[in-house]
Structure 1
Amino acid sequence: MEVKKELFGELGGHPIYAYELKNDRSISVTVLEYGCIINKIMVPDRIGKAENIVLGFDSLDGYVKDAPYFGAIIGRVAGRIAGSSFELDGKTYKLANNENRNHLHGGLKGFNAVIWNSTPIEEDGAVGVEFTYTSPDGEEGYPGKLDVTVMYLLTNEQELKLSYRAVTDKKTILNMTNHAYFNLSGDLKRDVRGHELSMPSDYVLELDQETLPTGKKLDVTGTAFDFRNGRKIEGGTVSNHPQNVLVGNGFDHPFLLSNHKKPIVLKDDESGRVLKVETDQPCVVVYTCNTMGNDEYEIRGRKPCDYLGICLEAQGVPDAVHHPEFPSIVLKPGEEYRANTKLIFS
């Protein structure tokens, strides 16, 4: 196993390094100091050919100018916050309106767009990188100085472990995730409509016209949202269910997990690749790039198209700060924010 560090680019006179993590079983993962971005995941197919299974760019410029959060850590709060404001202990905090009237993925310069400090990790049976960042009190409108640690650890058991830790000096809100876009075909040979997804979720959250949770849970039974026994992504792209149509004919929804002992499984039969996701988070936002065909940039020489990737964003429930019925995302001084997600490749 090894960790290789190389210069990836420069931003404002600051060098940005990439770390390539390699295990002893033909898997490698490349991560960046900019945004804690997962830049590449090289995984063999059924005949042993290793190809990249995540969307991204080969240059820093692509991430700075164009990337829709490709592979990045999202924070302080993943998803949308209604009205770009929230209240804590009677005080209202105003955030940036960076998606119409709402606040999205941490604001104008969220965790996806900052430079993180990095320390390589080499231990018995695993290699990785520990990233740290201190978000100052008031950054993007959020209260509290927040010290954040994100660790990526690649093991010889074909696992990529993602762990998140944070402490604050003032009461604040926090809900982090990684925004990797997966495509198991390898090197973007096909879109993901033929991928099969299995997920232990009995309920999906209803969204309003601004893609915010209404607070209502929808039973997935008999709909394109029922992944409990596995189904192809394509079902949601052709469904006439109002919630599929609302988000551009596909998925952009929080699924509430009902059994944390059962993994989420994404399969591509043609390549033979399988991705299992285990998490301690209450929900997974499934996003299927429903309107990516409108984008103008190129992804490693390919023009974007609808359904080119699928995001499986393990996190707290979006807009939880406005829904007391959802698990709280409030973090207090003296507490530690902890979240863990594991990606298992086969």
Structure 2
Amino acid sequence: MNANTITVKNWGEVDGKHILLYQLCNKNGMTVCITNYGASIQAINTPDKDGNMADVVLGYDDVQGYVNDPYYTGAIVGRFANRIDGGLVTLDGEQYQLTVKPGGFHHHGGAIGFNKKVWTAKHFAQEGKTGVILQYISADGEEGFPGELSTTVTYTLNNKNQLTVDFKATTTKTTLVNLTQHAYFNLSGQAGTSILGHQLMMPLQNYLPVSPKQVPIGELEPVNGTPFDFRQATAIGERIEDNNEQLILSAGYDHSFVIKTEDFDGLLMAASVTEPVSGRVMNVYTTEPSVHLYTGNFIEDNSPGKNGAKYMRRGGLCLETQHYPDAPNHAHFPSTVLKPGKIFKSKTIFEFTTNTI
């Protein structure tokens, strides 16, 4: 391949709305497929150390798979990713009750979050890159949130094998925003296999321990001396079954790690993941203050996937860049409040390369 191309195909209908699948391709032959259902990443084909291409994300062959999906596979999560204890929030002196799960917490945007919405989309091609711009307008009061929220996510693939995810959001009333991309990665390219052998490095000093509701208790806990220390590359499976209260509570890793304690626009490294056999490496950079590590602990074995694959528990790894969970209940956490006239912005880069050593 010697050109950046984009193709679009009809992918069916949901609620009478057209669903499209966009394939972005760079000059190296790397491809990324995006659908406007849930603004989801459907596929990422990237080379291993020998140049062999394979798909490194979990997903489905058709839109019905995403309609039925219980795992937020590949989707954009919003308005508020992760959890808010109790779901009762106060903004500008007014209380709002957000949609809550039976456990007593708001989760991943509510009963019907951004992952189950049809987004409007348009594609673009520029020198050295191609992309898709998707927009969803969330009505005032949707899932209990105040304000009409206009959210745009732009996916861009360049010739450095970088997939950039840019968020922008504006609101008509003071509201809460915490957006994330929820792709499940398996860098082996072998669907239906475990990610426990992936080597994870996160240059991060602290993580957020959680309550039995899996909601942060408000403390920033040092990773030193714990199974949460990934400052040196470590196999994900090396300590995941340790007799550690936090790992037991969450059935594995399902925790946020602190990248920064104050908001600023600069990109910082969140994580680097290496799959030793294929040699594939994914580096993650973000402007967000935290990254949530989820090791697919609740994927059911034999879950249906692409091309006849059967996905397994811990068969995919999420690195969800976002603000801290439960931020509205912790004044010392970076704020997730968005006011009218202000623009929420966020950038995350997923960079794919190989390690031949």
Q: Bin the TM-score by the shorter chain.
A: over 0.9
1:284-343 deviations in whole A, cap 9, x for unaligned? 00000113236x641122333221011000000001001101000000011100000001
- Tell me whether 1:177 sits opposite 2:183 in the alignment: no
Does residue 314 (structure 1) correspond to residue 339 (structure 2)? The answer is no
Q: Distance in 1 between matches of 2:190 and 2:62?
A: 16
Q: Name the counterpart of 1:221.
A: 224
User: Alpha carbons of 1:99 and 1:194: their partners in 2 closer, same or farther (altered >3 Å)?
Assistant: farther
3-state secondary structure, aligned to 2:318: strand
CA distance in 1, matches of 2:280, 2:192: 13
Report the 3-state secondary structure (helix = DSSP H, G, I; strand = E; otherwise coil) of the residue aligned with 1:112: helix
Q: Which has the higher mean CA deviation after the structures are superposed, 88-97 or 112-121? A: 88-97
Q: How is 1:15-94 mapped onto 2 (pairs within 5 angstroms)?
A: 15-94=18-97
Asked if the contact 1:128/1:153 (under 8 Å) is kept, the reply is: yes
Q: Matched residue of 2:166: which SS?
A: strand
Distance (whole Å) between structure 1 residues aligned to residue 182 and residue 344 of structure 2: 19
Say if 2:191 and 2:310, in contact at 8 Å, map to a contact too: no
Aligned AA (1:305): M
User: How far apart are 1:33 and its partner, in Å?
Assistant: 0.5
3-state SS of 2:284 partner = strand
- Decide whether the 8 Å contact of 1:66 with 1:297 is kept in 2: no
Contact persistence 2:80–2:108 (CA under 8 A)? yes
**Which whole-Å CA distance do the structure 2 matches of 1:252 and 1:6 have between them?**
35
The residue aligned with 1:257 is 259
Partner residue of 1:154 out of 144, 152, 157:
157
Q: Give, in angstroms, the shift of residue 35 of structure 1.
A: 0.4
Partner of 2:17: 14
Name 1:339's counterpart in structure 2: 346
TM-superposed deviation, 1:189: 5.4
TM-score scaled by length of structure 1: 0.96
Q: What is the match of residue 330 of structure 2?
A: 323
Q: Which amino acid in structure 2 is aligned with residue 108 of structure 1?
A: A
Determine if the alignment matches structure 1 residue 238 to structure 2 residue 241: yes
Q: How far did residue 236 of structure 1 move?
A: 3.4
Q: 1:103 corresponds to which residue?
A: 106
Partner secondary structure for residue 292 of structure 1: coil
Do the aligned residues in 1 keep the contact of 2:255 with 2:292 (CA within 8 Å)?
Answer: yes
Task: Give the C-alpha shift of residue 238 in structure 1.
Answer: 2.0
- Measured in 1, the distance between the counterparts of 2:268 and 2:286 equals 9
Q: Which SS does the other structure have where 1:62 is aligned?
A: helix
Q: Between the two proteins, what is the percent identity of the paired residues?
A: 39
**1:98, distance to aligned residue in structure 2 (A):** 3.1
In structure 2, relative to structure 1, the CA distance for the partners of 1:132 and 1:109 (3 Å cut) is: same
Gaps of 5+ in 2: 261-265
CA displacement at 1:188 relative to structure 2: 1.5
Contact 1:279 1:342 in 2 (8 A): yes
Q: Residues 135-146 of structure 1 correspond to what in structure 2 (within 5 A)? A: 135-146=138-149
Unmatched 5+ stretches in structure 1? none
| Conservation of the 8 A alpha-carbon contact between 1:134 and 1:147 | yes
* Counterpart position of 2:189: 186
- AA at the equivalent of 1:292: I
Deviates more, 1:59-68 or 1:272-281: 59-68
What is the rounded CA distance, in whole Å, between the counterparts of 2:313 and 2:337 in structure 1? 35
Aligned equivalent of 2:291, options 263, 268, 284: 284
